[in-house]
Amino acid sequence: LKYAIITKILQESNVLEYVAIRMFRLSRGNQRLFLYIICLTGAILAAVISDVVVALILVPIIIRICNFLKIKAGTYLLALTIVINIGSIFTPFSSGENIIIAQHFQLDTIYFVTYYWLIALILLFLTILFIDILILRKEPKMEFEQSQLIMEILDPSMVITDKKLFIFNGIAFLSIIISFVIIPEIYVVALIAAMIMVLVNNKRGERPLKEILKEINWEIIFFFIALFVVIGCLQIVGIFDLFQLGALQNFNIYIVCLIILLSVSFLSGILANTPTMLLFLPIIDSLIVDYNFS
């Protein structure tokens, strides 16, 4: 809930839109540089906020820019879709799944930097390279006049409605990210930050806080709560103990990893990421305890 509140406040004050437009202007009409900036922007934002929010912010901007420039938006949207998922690997607070996993296994930001950043950076580089070589270079070039026009139209200052509130939320956003890296208990940081931002924005914001809170996706939050209850009940009645009696003990650790990877990949395509993650947490716990799987 606290992460949803912070993200919603940042959306309302247009901090994230400002960052996106500012980075888009760096391309200066260069088609390849435009792709690189989209990918880097999407990956960076996805590392600190929800992937859905990143898509909601960037997709409309990309479509508008491509319409003005008379170029296909599909290539850039494809790249954005891939890099958003890659960006979620960078930090333990980038998505609901990462937050739950990090808290369950007591993983901090340093752990993610140590074990995941190299893989994520390689995937990000290869994604940009392949889309550039295989798709973008075969497309027609954008018109120079149109590119200059869109650079003039896209003024980052146009999204700022309350400068003082915008600066406060921007500083708060940066402070939260830095605190997430320094302080292992990220839920405490998020709780305190959400309370402070709620108090300040409720006092100075143009819209009442209750209207902003109504737009938070409460269905998903309560769905997670119910899902935790269901998984807990299954664990109590011993459903996950069946894995202790299964054939996993007959395989070495690499085969077990492959089985889990394939199972998670298959189920996440059917059940979505969060239910699959909650389903496999107690299974991983059983493997850690009974088979020294670490």
Q: What does the domain layout of the chain look like in residue ranges?
A: 2-163, 224-291
- pLDDT the model gives residue 83: 93
> Low-confidence residues of the chain, pLDDT below 70?
1-4, 16, 20, 29, 143-147, 150, 180-181, 184-187, 203-217, 220, 235, 238-251, 271-272, 290-294
Integer Cα distance of 168 and 293 in angstroms:
46
At 189 the pLDDT is: 74
User: What is the C-alpha end-to-end distance of the chain, expressed in Å?
Assistant: 31
pLDDT of amino acid 213: 67
Give the span between the Cα atoms of 39 and 210, in whole angstroms.
35
Chain centroid to CA 196: 23
CB atoms within 10 A of CB 54: 27
